Structure 1
C-alpha cells in the first residue's frame, strides 16, 4: 500500500505536466485556427509560430563559387523550341530554319548579338609538320572535317619576306549547321586573340557565306593587370543586355563576366563532340528571348564568383 502511494506521488506531477503540455498544444492549434478564420496566414508565418526560422528552412544553401563548361548533355531540356521567359515574355514569332522546323524570334526585341571565339571553340588548328599522321587518320575515319591552310606569320624570313605557315584545321562537328541556324535569329561576331594573318584565311574558309557581320583579331583585345588578350565587349555596344560571348577560355570575358558562356575546349581527339548543335545552340535560342541575358547567365554560371575565387575582383 505504501509503495502504491509512493508511486502515485511520483507519477502524478508527470501526468499533470503531460496534461498541461497537451492543453498548450491545443491552445496553439486553436490560435492558428483563429488566425485562419481572420485571414489565411502564409506558410512562413506558420513556421514562425513553431519557432523555425525562415532562412534556415526555406532558403536554399548558398552555392559555393564554381565554374564548369557546358557539358554535352546540359540544357537539352530546352528542346527545339526554347520556352518563353518566366516573366514579362516578349512577343515572339517563328521563322523557318534549315532542316525543317521553326525557331522562335522575339519580334519586340532587337537581334541577339553572339560573339564567337575561334580556336578550340569553333575549330582546332595544328602546325601541319608537327601533327601526327595517326591523329589525322583517326579524325578522318570518324568523319571529322579538316583542311590544310597557308597563313602568313608575323615572323619574317630572309630579305624581309613574310614567313608562310602551314596548318591543319579541324572543324568542330556541326559547325556549318550551327552558323547557319544561329544566323537566323542572331547577329554573329567573330572575336579571336589570333593574329589576322592566321585567322582571316581560316574564317574565310569556314564562313564562305559571310555570316559574321564583324571580325575582330588580336589588336582588338586589351591587356589587364590580370590577363592579356581580354575581349572587351564594350567595343561592340554600350548596352550589353543582348550580347553574349562564347569562348572556351573564361578569362576572355573577364571584363563582362555576366555576358559569357564558357564552353568545353575542342580538339581533334573529339570527333563525336556535340556542343555546338546539342548544347550551345539551344541555349542561345533561349537567350534570344530574354530582354536581358545577364541575369540568366549569372544564375547559370556564377562567373563573377569564379573570378573572385581566382583573386580577380568582379567587374
Structure 2
C-alpha cells in the first residue's frame, strides 16, 4: 500500500506541475495579447487625438505648393481670377481701404472663468498687454435680462503702433464675425482714437454653400482695386480671394509675435502704392489654388470679386 501510495504521488506530482505551467503560460499569453493590443492602438489614439485637437485655423502661406508639375501650367491666371485690366490710370490719391478682422488677428480673447491661471500669468509675465472686459451675451438670464460675460483680452504685440501707422495711408474698417454685444466694447478699448471709420459685425457676414460668416467686401466698396482684408481665417474672404491677406492666428501663447509691424504693415504699405492690389496679392498667396485644394470648385471661387 505504501509503494502504491508512493507511486500515485509520483504520478500525480508531474501532472499537477504540468497544469501549473500551462496555467502560467495561458496567463502570460493573455497578458501578451493585451500588451500587443495596447501597442497597436497607441498610434491610432495619438493620430486621433492630434487630428481632433488640431486647429482649423489657417497656417502660414507665403507660397502655395501646387500639385501641377512645371510642365503643366496652373489652371489659374490673373485674367481667370477676375482681375480686370483698367481702362484708365488709377487714382492713387484715394486711400487704400484695409478691412481688419478682430479675433486672432488683432487680439485673442478668453472667457475669464475658463482661462487657466498659468496661461494668464505666463502671458502677462511675458509682456502681453491685456485687459478684462464685461460684454453682453446673446444668452438670457432667468429673469430675461441679457447675460453678462467676463472676458480676458490679450492684445497682439504692436497693435496700437500698427493702427497708428496704418491710419496714415489707409482707411480702416473693422469686420468681425463676432456679435456686437461682445465686439463693440472690445473695439472701444483698442480703438479709443476712433481710427476705424466703420465697424461691421456678424449680421453683415454672408452664408454660402461652402462656408458661413463669409465677409463679402462688396458691402463696403465696389472698387476691388484698392481694398484688402486681413484675416487669420482665409475662408472669410472666399468671395474675393485675391483681395485677401491671410495672417498667422494669434494666441496668448505667442508673446513675441511680430506679425503686425514686421510682416503685415510693410505689405500694406507696398499695396498702398499699387493701382490694383489684386495682381500682387494673387502672385504672393495664390489663394484661388488654396481654396481649390480645400474643396471649393474652380469656377465658384472669386465670383463676387
Please give the TM-score of this superposition, normalised by the length of structure 1. 0.67
Output the CA distance in 2 between the equivalents of 1:143 and 1:197.
Answer: 28
CA drift at 1:108 = 3.7
Report the alpha carbon displacement of residue 62 of structure 1 after superposing the two structures with TM. 5.8
Are residues 244 and 165 of structure 1, via their aligned partners in 2, closer, same or farther at CA, if it must alter by over 3 Å? same
Determine if contact 2:91/2:275 at 8 Å carries over to the other structure: no
**Which residue of 1 is the match for residue 226 of structure 2?**
242
Q: What are the equivalent positions in structure 2 for 1:19-98 lying under 5 Å apart?
A: none
CA RMSD of aligned residues (A): 2.1
1:261 and 2:245 matched: yes
* 3-state SS in 1 of match to 2:225: coil
Q: Tell me the equivalent position of 1:303.
A: 287
Check whether the contact 2:232–2:246 (CA below 8 A) recurs between aligned residues: yes
Residue of structure 2 equivalent to 1:51? none
Match of 2:163 in 1: 179
Shift of residue 61, structure 1, vs aligned partner:
5.8
Q: Of residues 145, 149, 167 in structure 1, which corresponds to 2:133?
A: 149
Establish whether residue 158 from structure 1 lines up as the match of residue 158 from structure 2: no
The match for 1:139 is: 123
Aligned to 2:273: 289
Paired residues in the alignment total 219
How many Å separate the matches in 2 of 1:210 and 1:166? 24
Query: Would the aligned equivalents of 1:182 and 1:281 in 2 still touch at CA under 8 Å?
Result: yes
1:109 CA drift (Å) = 3.1
TM-score between the two structures when normalised by the length of structure 2:
0.69
Cα deviation 1:193-224 (Å, max 9, x = unaligned): 00000000000000000000000000000100
Runs (5+) with no aligned partner, structure 2: 1-68, 76-88
1:191 is matched with which residue? 175
Distance, in Å, in 2 between the alignment partners of 1:238 and 1:180 is 26
Tell me by how many angstroms 1:60 deviates. Answer: 6.2
Q: 2: CA distance between counterparts of 1:230 and 1:244?
A: 14
Check if 1:276 corresponds to 2:260.
yes
